[in-house]
């Protein structure tokens, strides 16, 4: 009897560590990839757009070198680059003005849009009241109402910022409303069962779950903010990339026109990349941010 008890006890004791070790053995920790692997992945993601950009520049150069179009219609890449180097201070000054208007307008649109989305989600009456108005304001061409802002607010940076806010506001609102409404209802029921208040539910569940949608809207909004600032400068301004484009168009200075367009495009790309980097820092847990995310390749 003693030997059987001893045997059973020792068998249980011997099986306990194995049972305790099996879950730990199944856990595989994934550390941060080494620098070489991260560089390789970055090159893998970037070589295609870089190749496409180089192909476009090569086609541009070939068309101008073969004189398929007149130089006063489409300047060569070399002429455009020479002008940008020659008048770098002039272009930089006007680029900085447009950048300031764009960034301020985008930040205001983001703050106001997030606040409006939260109010609309938590109040069905306000949503039914504001949503048609927002849609009506969005479909109005901004170039048609921009002169009114210049008349009301003057020729400074204020009307340009206002146009940037107006054009970048709608994507933020739509994305944030969609994100706040996409929360799993079971999570909301669980939080209510555990006694969480509205603010705790918003801070711990709704807002984190809405961030992927919000960043998608912010990336759209930041590029539209550049367009809004330039549209405001078209109507009435004495500085900014929109002013440069208008002056170059009036003087048939196509190299300056192309230079301003290139700088404006680069500004939008840089701002988009900054939002993308912020998304990577804020949302490392999201499936689209992980290196093992499944991507359809067929």
**For the residues 66-89, what does the mean pLDDT come to?**
89
State the number of CA atoms in the 13 A half-sphere of 24 facing the CB: 5
CA–CA distance, 279 with 69 (Å, rounded to integer): 43
Q: Considering the chain, what is the average pLDDT of its residues? A: 82
**For the residues 229-247, what does the mean pLDDT come to?**
90
Beta carbons of 101 and 137 less than 8 angstroms apart: no
Of 112, 78, 80, residue with least CA distance to 255: 80
pLDDT tens profile 86-134: 999 999 999 999 999 999 999 999 999 999 999 999 888 888 888 888 8
Q: Residue 135 pLDDT more than 80?
A: yes
Residue with tokens 């002008």: 83
**For the residues 214-239, what does the mean pLDDT come to?**
92
In sequence order, which residues have a C-beta less than 8 Å from that of residue 109 and are 6 or more positions away? 164, 165, 168, 169, 172, 221, 225
Confidence class of residue 12 from pLDDT cuts 50, 70 and 90? very low
Please tell me the class of the 76-281 domain: mainly alpha
Q: Report pTM.
A: 0.79
Poorest-confidence range of 26-35, 102-111, 138-147? 26-35
Residue with tokens 């560590």: 17
Q: Residue 290 pLDDT more than 70?
A: no
Beta carbons of 242 and 98 less than 8 angstroms apart: yes
What proportion of the chain, given as a percentage, has pLDDT over 90? 41
| Secondary structure of residue 239 in the 3-state scheme | coil
Q: Give the pLDDT score at 32.
A: 58
Print the SS3 string covering 179-210: HHHCCCHHHHHHHHHCCCCHHHHHHHHHHHHH
CA–CA distance, 266 with 84 (Å, rounded to integer): 13
What proportion of the chain, given as a percentage, has pLDDT over 70? 82
Beta carbons of 232 and 163 less than 8 angstroms apart: yes
CA–CA distance, 64 with 57 (Å, rounded to integer): 11
Q: Residue 287 pLDDT more than 70?
A: no
pLDDT tens profile 170-215: 999 999 999 998 888 777 777 777 877 778 888 888 888 899 999 9
Q: Give the pLDDT score at 9.
A: 43
Angle between helices 158-181 and 207-235 (to 10 degrees): 160
């Amino acid at each position: 009897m003693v030997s059987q008890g001893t045997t059973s006890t020792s068998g249980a004791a011997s099986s306990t560590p194995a049972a305790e070790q099996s879950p730990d053995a199944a856990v595989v920790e994934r550390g941060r990839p080494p620098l070489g692997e991260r560089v390789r992945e970055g090159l893998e993601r970037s070589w295609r757009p870089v190749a496409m950009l180089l192909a476009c520049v090569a086609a541009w150069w070939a068309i101008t070198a073969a004189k398929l179009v007149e130089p006063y219609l489409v300047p060569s890449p070399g002429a455009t680059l020479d002008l940008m180097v020659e008048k770098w201070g002039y272009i930089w000054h006007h680029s900085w003005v447009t950048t300031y208007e764009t960034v301020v307008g985008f930040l205001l649109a983001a703050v106001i849009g997030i606040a409006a989305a939260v109010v609309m989600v938590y109040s069905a009456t306000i949503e039914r009241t504001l949503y048609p108005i927002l849609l009506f304001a969005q479909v109005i061409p901004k170039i048609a109402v921009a002169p009114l802002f210049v008349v009301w607010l003057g020729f400074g940076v204020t009307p340009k910022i206002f146009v940037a806010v107006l054009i970048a506001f709608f994507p933020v609102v739509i994305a944030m409303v969609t994100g706040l409404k996409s929360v799993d209802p079971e999570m909301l029921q669980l939080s209510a069962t555990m006694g969480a208040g509205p603010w705790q539910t918003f801070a711990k569940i709704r807002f984190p779950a809405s961030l992927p949608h919000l960043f998608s809207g912010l990336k759209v909004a930041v590029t539209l903010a550049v367009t809004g600032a330039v549209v405001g400068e078209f109507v009435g301004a004495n500085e900014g990339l929109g002013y440069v484009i208008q002056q170059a168009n009036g003087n048939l200075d196509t190299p300056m026109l192309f230079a301003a367009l290139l700088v404006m495009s680069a500004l939008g790309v840089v701002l988009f990349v900054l939002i993308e980097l912020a998304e990577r820092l804020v949302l490392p847990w999201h499936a689209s941010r992980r290196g093992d995310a499944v991507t359809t390749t067929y």
